[in-house]
Amino acid sequence: MDLIQSIIIGIIEGLTEFLPVSSTGHMIITSSIMGIETDEFTKLFEIAIQLGAILSVVVLYWKKFLDFSKWQFYIKLIVAVIPALILGKLLSEKIDKLLESPTTVAVSLLVGGIILLFIDKLFTKPLIKEEKDINYNKGFIIGIWQCLAMIPGVSRSAATIIGGMQQKLTRSIAAEFSFFLAVPTMAAATGYKLLKTFSTHPDVVTNKHNLFLLAVGNVVAFIVAMLAIKFFIGYLQKHGFKIFGWYRILVGIIVLVLIHQGLIK
Q: Tell whether the model's pLDDT for residue 138 goes beyond 90.
A: yes
* pLDDT higher than threshold 90 for residue 169: yes
Q: What is the mean pLDDT of residues 142-170?
A: 93
- Strand-pairing partners, residue 128, are 169
3-class DSSP state for residue 39?
A: coil
What is the pLDDT at residue 174?
A: 92
Residue 111 has pLDDT above 90, yes or no: yes
Q: What is the mean pLDDT of the chain?
A: 90
Cα 44 off chain centre by: 15
Listed in sequence order, the DSSP H helices in the chain are: 3-16, 23-34, 40-48, 50-60, 62-65, 71-90, 92-98, 102-122, 136-146, 156-166, 171-200, 202-206, 208-239, 242-260
* Exposed / middle / buried, residue 73 (Cβ in 10 Å: 0-12, 13-18, 19+): middle
pLDDT value at residue 90? 87
Q: Give 169's strand partners.
A: 128
Q: What is the dihedral of CA 246, 83, 175, 137, to 10 degrees?
A: 130
Q: Where are the domains of the chain?
A: 3-260
pLDDT at 265 over 80: no
pLDDT number for residue 10: 95
Integer Cα distance of 166 and 39 in angstroms: 39
- Write out pLDDT tens, residues 40-97: 899 899 989 988 998 998 898 888 888 888 889 999 999 999 999 999 888 888 887 7
| Alpha carbon distances (Å) from 23 to 135, 140, 183, 207 | 28, 23, 15, 25
Look at 144 and 238; give whichever has higher pLDDT.
144
pLDDT for 142 equals 96
Average pLDDT over residues 111-138: 90
Q: Residue 132 carries which DSSP code?
A: G
**What's the rounded Cα separation, in Å, for the pair 265 and 261?**
9
- pLDDT digits over 6-50, tens only? 999 999 999 998 889 989 889 988 998 898 988 889 989 998 998
Sequential DSSP letters for 135-162: -HHHHHHHHHHHGGGGSTTS-HHHHHHH
CB 45 within 8 A of CB 9: yes
pLDDT of residue 181: 94
- For residue 198, the model assigns a pLDDT of 87
Per DSSP, the three-state class of 126 is coil
Q: Model confidence over 181-226: pLDDT tens digits? A: 999 998 888 888 888 888 888 898 889 999 999 999 999 999 999 9
Is there a contact between 22 and 105 (Cβ–Cβ < 8 Å)?
yes
Find the radius of gyration of the CA atoms of the chain: 18
For residue 88, what pLDDT is reported? 85
Provide mean pLDDT across the span 165-189.
91
Question: Which DSSP state fits 133?
Answer: G
Angle at 145 between CA 143 and CA 12, to 5 degrees: 95
| pLDDT for res 70 | 83
